[in-house]
Homo-oligomer: A and B are copies of this chain.
């Protein structure tokens, strides 16, 4: 069913079959959140964390002036608010870009699991460290790359991450964001995003419409964006068309 999740679990480093089973049996319920609605809002104090089964979301901050900064895009398999398990108050919101299906993990359950299984504890920690690694790369992008490079880099990142969880076919994937979203994630205006995307299309590097991104010339785009996937900490090189049995485990609530 939710192969992205089992693919993701494989990334999560060194979990034994039993530990994977424990993690998949933990969520107590399924939650659905409609498009453009918060999964978690800034300032919230939570008693549970959510794993994305289906759909796209984004972390974001709203600044006093009304400007928005998107901090990350979250895709199926991401444990999108696991940090609330440790930090009391959310310093940012998480909003659905599409309708999302989530698996809900009560913090009490996570507490029991992490105290009993140090390997799971480490795996969840790792998940947040990979997030942090992505933050760092974005910071470098926003701080030191120009608009063309930033957009190229972002598109390569999205494609690579979706490939890793089996949600891309070749160099094509769903990426349900508006040009305004891209702007808010890279510190650019909508207008300029539009112009740069056109440049890339004219050069034949990409097509991007109907929420579908296709990268026609991976090498050129990756080079333009100085993209090197190592910061994503993917243990397996992203392969296309990988068939995944999910280690024979499946999610209890589904």
By a beta-carbon cutoff of 8 Å, the part of chain A in contact with chain B is 59, 61, 63-65, 67-69, 71, 83, 86-87, 89, 91-92, 114-115, 118, 121-122, 125-126, 128-133, 135-140, 142-145, 184-187, 226, 230-231, 233
Contact = CB atoms under 8 A, between A and B. Distances in A.
A173 to B, nearest CB: 24
A63 B122 contact: no
B118 A69 contact: no
Copies in the complex: 2
Contacts of A126: 86-87
B130 A187 contact: no
A157 B64 CA distance: 17
Given A71-B140, A139-B138, A144-B67, A87 B187 contact: no
A122 to B, nearest CB: 6
A126 B144 CA distance: 29
A226 B64 contact: yes
B86 A125 contact: yes
B129 A69 contact: no
A129 to B, nearest CB: 5
A63 B142 CA distance: 12
B136 A68 contact: no
Nearest to A145: B63
A111 to B, nearest CB: 9
A133 to B, nearest CB: 5
